[in-house]
Amino acid sequence: MSSNFFAYVLLEVTLQELFFGVDSPTTSLEWAVAQMINKPEIQQKAVDEVDRVVGKGRLVQESDIPQLNYIKACVKESLRLHPITPFNLPHVSMSNIVVGGYFIPKGSHILLGRRGLGRNPKVWQEPLEFKPERYFNDDKSSKIELMEPELRLVTFSSGKRACPGIALGTALSVIALGRILQGFAWSVPENEGKIDLSEAPNEFEMAKPLHAHASPRLPATTYPIIS
């Protein structure tokens, strides 16, 4: 085959990876904002944290992430309810094994359903509710990580075949949600009810694009100038 063919395939794969990396956080953020509009008390808690940590004189930046635990909890909760992809990468069992009381023969192809894990009522209380507080200890001192060490949900997969963009994707999601809430107060448009949280047939996107009202919260000089 010609070198042009391989160059085309390489370009196609690269573009797929780039667009997947951009589309995944934006879909998750759309769900997070929609959920927080319907639950303004959660939105207010997140805004209060951003105002306390960052203030209104500058925008959220990467160095703020360790202190934005409630924002991270909101991102994590959005990923739990609305995972980026339906399954993790396929694996094959290397030997006969019993997992959770289920016998898995050697050579079995194994897929983990991310949506089922994140909404499992045996693991999560009120699994269909958007509740960022579920990730905190009673004293609210928890340091939130978007990875789940106990594998109660699989957001980015794990091990050698984990998503290579974990650090970038998590940082992008936290900064973006922080800035979205810092820059604007979000609400349902006038004369409309709550945001429709129906899922699209693929179960990972909103059935209807988010339609919301955004009111500026910051001094005009704080917003970046887009030319």
Output the CATH code of domain 25-222: 1.10.630.10
Report the C-alpha gap between 186 and 47 in whole angstroms: 11
Average pLDDT, integer, range 128-154: 81
Cα–Cα separations (whole angstroms), residue 2 to 9, 12, 58, 120: 11, 16, 52, 50
Residue 164 has pLDDT above 90, yes or no: no
Note the pLDDT of residue 9. 56
Under the banding of pLDDT at 50, 70 and 90, the label for residue 1 is very low
Note the pLDDT of residue 88. 76
Could you report the per-residue pLDDT of 168-223, keeping only the tens digit for each? 778 889 999 999 999 999 999 988 889 999 998 876 789 999 999 999 999 999 98
* Mean pLDDT across the chain: 84
Report the C-alpha gap between 37 and 74 in whole angstroms: 12
Could you report the per-residue pLDDT of 59-68, keeping only the tens digit for each? 999 999 999 9
Residue 13 has pLDDT above 80, yes or no: no
Evaluate whether 181 touches 43 at the Cβ level (below 8 Å): yes
Domain boundaries, given as residue ranges, for the chain: 25-222
Strands (E), 60-163: 91-92, 97-99, 102-104, 109-110
Note the pLDDT of residue 161. 60
Note the pLDDT of residue 22. 47
Residues facing residue 103 across a β-bridge: 98
